[in-house]
Amino acid sequence: MKTKTLSELEDKFIGEKGTPSRDAYEKELSDLMIGFQIKNARMKLDVTQEELANRINKKRAFISRIENDGSNLTIGTLRDIVERGLGGKLSIEVQI
């Protein structure tokens, strides 16, 4: 049995890089990673969703949605969560 890399499996089952299906997959994965990073930072600081929400004038359900999905998040809101809510610094990288 030949072992396949993750990249080979993604190409086979999701589509090759540059195809619409692969682009959608990578965007969704990126959104999930944002939520995952926010949740990990919040938990590391021992802050509840409610406390984080209060710090940025949002509802707890909003924080929960961001942590579980991460999509439809503006840069301004992300900056509020990271900087005001968690006391961190937001850094964004653009790759071309």
- pLDDT tens, 40-63? 999 999 999 999 999 999 999 999
Q: For the chain, which domains are there?
A: 6-85 (1.10.260.40)
More confident residue, 65 or 96: 65
Sign of the dihedral defined by the CA atoms of residues 85, 55, 62, 43, in that order:
positive
State yes or no: pLDDT of 1 exceeds 80: no
- In the predicted model, what is the mean pLDDT of residues 15-34? 91
- At residue 32, the pLDDT reads 92
List, in order, residues 6 or more apart from 81 with CB less than 8 Å away.
Answer: 38, 52, 56, 63, 66
Name the more confident of 52 and 27: 52
Mean per-residue pLDDT, 16-31: 90
What would the mean pLDDT of 69-73 be, rounded to a whole number? 83
pLDDT at residue 62, rounded to an integer? 95
What integer pLDDT is reported at residue 35 of this predicted model?
93
| Alpha-carbon gap, residue 96 to 82, rounded angstroms | 25
Quote the pLDDT of residue 95: 83
